[in-house]
Amino acid sequence: MSIFDFADGRKGYYGEYGGTFLPEILSATIEELQDCFAGCKQDPTFWQEYVDLLHSYSGRPTPVTHLANLSKQLGGAQIYVKREDLGHTGSHKINNVLGQGLLCKRLGKTRVIAETGAGQHGYATATMAARFGFDCTIYMGAVDVARQRPNVFWMERMGATVVAVEDGQKTLKDAINEALRDWVTNMHDTHYVLGTACGPHPFPEMVSYFQSIIGLEAREQIVAAAGRLPDRVYACVGGGSNAIGIFQGFLDEASVELVACEAGGHGPDSGQHAARLAYPDASVGVAQGFKTYFLQDDNGNMLETHSIAAGLDYIGVNPILVHLWENDRVRFTAATDEQVRDTLKRVMRSEGLIPALESTHAFAMAIEEAPTMGRDEIILINQSGRGDKDIFTIADALDDKKWKDFIRNKAADYGV
């Protein structure tokens, strides 16, 4: 089953969510992109070119790993992990940007822009731009620039211009706003490589389409490794690109429960989280080009969000996932910062894996629920990225005084 089976017949809508809400000046540009993407979907040579590029440049397919130690410790379900951390640039983001890079070539654009929170999408976009020869500008909230310094370093080394956004909360939503302003000004030669499966049509569909490679691989791999399909699939959700990517491998299997894990921050009653559907604080609205659930006040003003993971503190959520949630096909949960810290320590010590803080939310919920399942049941987690980018945040979160002092001194050297 494809995500396109869930469209309701209106272009870019999934139930009541999605659509295209943009200023008139961008109408011709977005229609050009919609037409180009529609043509690519109908062209089998495009998908094959995309897959070949992923294999030769990004190192796909990424493997599925059985976590035997953790499974034994928990005494419940057998836990497997889809290793998107092993793709080029260290996360699933490279899948989407390589696909959009091929689109950009077909559009004849010579410059790309992108937003980034955790920095993985910015890093992947800068890498793609270097590979294809595009000029590149990355917008990143000033708060995220400070806490994701390693990715900023690599973006700049790849030749990208990184713009620290000082507006608003200085995080992901503010970076998206700034990228949209750039696009309006430079649409004649610029393609906006939106990184998550949100925003105006065709971005939710397009990003989901490119990320479906995760689910296509994972379905075959888990059957080969475990002998059958999993009972549950867990993935973290900020905007929702990695989750909708792996979920697409199992949408047509009613026996496979799909579990989306949001950022619980300091908990449901704290007002400091980024859980749109797991907690009851969000409501339906229109912002940043599309209709979905947002964390907003009664006047439609966006609320501040919080997460230990820079890539999960977005105000909205993929409209396709919302539609699946309303139809009881995806269950939404949330992990708190404290759960994530504890889970990260456990996974590192038990399995020698360092998942990104974003991915660790999925691990946290899987570890919480695995002991309630039978030993013959199977869990599959999408490890959407690797945690080396989070070294500063992790050192602070784990209260490692030696490293915190080192990081503080280095940050002062760079004026951060």
Pick left, alpha or beta for residue 15 (phi over 0 → left; psi -120 to 50 → alpha; otherwise beta). left
56 is catalytic: no
State which H helix or E strand residue 287 sits in.
strand 283-287
Q: What count of other Cβ atoms lies within 10 Å of the Cβ of residue 311?
A: 34
Angstrom distances, CA of residue 15 to CA of 7, 259, 324: 7, 20, 9
Q: Which of 58, 91, 359, 384 is catalytic?
A: 384
DSSP symbol at 9: S
384 is catalytic: yes
CA max distance for the chain: 58
The span from the CA of 357 to the CA of 119, in Å, is 12
Angstrom distances, CA of residue 315 to CA of 58, 198, 202, 276: 30, 11, 19, 7
Q: Distance from CA of residue 75 to its chain's centroid?
A: 30
The span from the CA of 60 to the CA of 51, in Å, is 9
The span from the CA of 3 to the CA of 14, in Å, is 9
DSSP symbol at 372: G
Render the burial of 204-237: b for 16+ CB within 10 Å, e for the rest. bbbbbbbbbbbbebbbebbeebbeebbbbbbbbb
Q: Which of 93, 173, 291, 389 is catalytic?
A: 93
91 is catalytic: no
Angstrom distances, CA of residue 17 to CA of 47, 82, 208: 27, 29, 15
Cβ contact 222:64 at 8 Å:
yes
Q: Which of 71, 82, 91, 115 is catalytic?
A: 115
Tokens of 190: 């610029």
The span from the CA of 142 to the CA of 263, in Å, is 20
Strand arrangement of the beta sheet that strand 111-116 belongs to? 161-165, 135-141, 111-116, 190-192
Q: Which positions are annotated as active-site residues? A: 93, 115, 384
